[in-house]
Amino acid sequence: MSMSQGRALVTGGAGFIGSHLCDRLLGDGYDVLCVDNYYSSTKDNITHLLDHPRFELLRHDVTFPLYVEVDEIYHLACPASPIHYQRDPVQTTKTAVHGSINMLGLAKRTGAKILLTSTSEVYGDPLVHPQTEDYWGNVNPIGPRACYDEGKRAAETLFFDYRRQHNLPIKVVRLFNTYGPRMHPHDGRVVSNFIVSALTEQPLTIYGDGSQTRSFCYVDDLVNGLIAMMNAPEDVIGPINLGNPGEFTIAELAEQVLQQIPSAAGIEHLPLPVDDPVRRQPDITRAKETLDWQPTIALADGLTRTIEYFRSVVI
């Protein structure tokens, strides 16, 4: 029996990205403790891991302290799509802030390295393009998205203060749009929306004229970035953008989905939501230079894999 690489805690481990990270860590030889309260995730994402000898599942809300022994903490727990984080905005802020305080306290006690998955939403509706890590953002602090945007900004503050005050080994990454199998079919995100609509012969809904842009990173590429960041030297603390710099308009994405799932229902246009960013594209120079990381999976290929998954759960 081979020696374990160590004990990794993944908060939000039953979520879309978290479950793929658990897969990868087990494959790399880690003992994995997956912690989730299933607020916006599902046990279905990790059912295939329940019999794995090095996998442990704990139902827990990170807004309460957690007492376990671990070597590394990947702190992903937080609802990340507007539908989920706006359903209970106070709880979203508590998860971002109290959850981070509790996980940082755990890291301090155990001496664990801790990585925060922050978000491109810290840039708000950006006034610089593409977004570099030294941009401070253009965020509405009292809008309907602020519970998430400001919650994650506060989480970053806490991580850096724990490093300054307690010399804690921290890592902060800012995730841009990520897609792939195990996305929630009704999370309100554009990739899942378009695929589910096309599969069910509903019109694809485009907000505004479809000229707003997004950058789409396939989940396997993103997980590679998380692992690279955790394994980087201790002085690499971030923040580092992780995302795909390929920029597509929403209209172009709709076209790509309809190429793979022909649908007669077409496209409908609705007004833009409040504070919805018009352009979003990561500058990943820092990730390339510091982590030797960049995405390798093209949008068309990633969509094919994602559509295959949605066919199995939607139809």
* CATH code for the domain of 289: 3.40.50.720
Our count of domains for the chain comes to 1
Judged by DSSP in three states, 153 sits in: helix
Contact yes or no for 69/42 (Cβ under 8 A) = no
Residue of 74, 123, 148, 162 marked active site = 148
User: Does residue 305 fall inside a structural domain?
Assistant: no
User: Does residue 300 fall inside a structural domain?
Assistant: no
Q: Output the pLDDT for position 7.
A: 98
Rounded CA gap, 115 and 169, in Å?
9
Our answer to whether residue 148 is catalytic in this structure is yes
**102 alpha-carbon distance from chain centroid:** 20
Rounded CA gap, 49 and 72, in Å?
19
Q: Output the pLDDT for position 1.
A: 43
Q: Vertex 60, ends 110 and 112: CA angle to 5°? A: 15
Rounded CA gap, 130 and 311, in Å?
34
Say what the pTM is: 0.94
Low-confidence residues of the chain: pLDDT under 70: 1-3, 275, 315
User: Does residue 202 fall inside a structural domain?
Assistant: no
User: Does residue 248 fall inside a structural domain?
Assistant: no
Range(s) of the domain holding residue 159? 7-180+218-243+281-295
b (16+ CB within 10 A) / e for 84-114: bbeeebebbbbbbbbbbbbbbbbbeebebbb
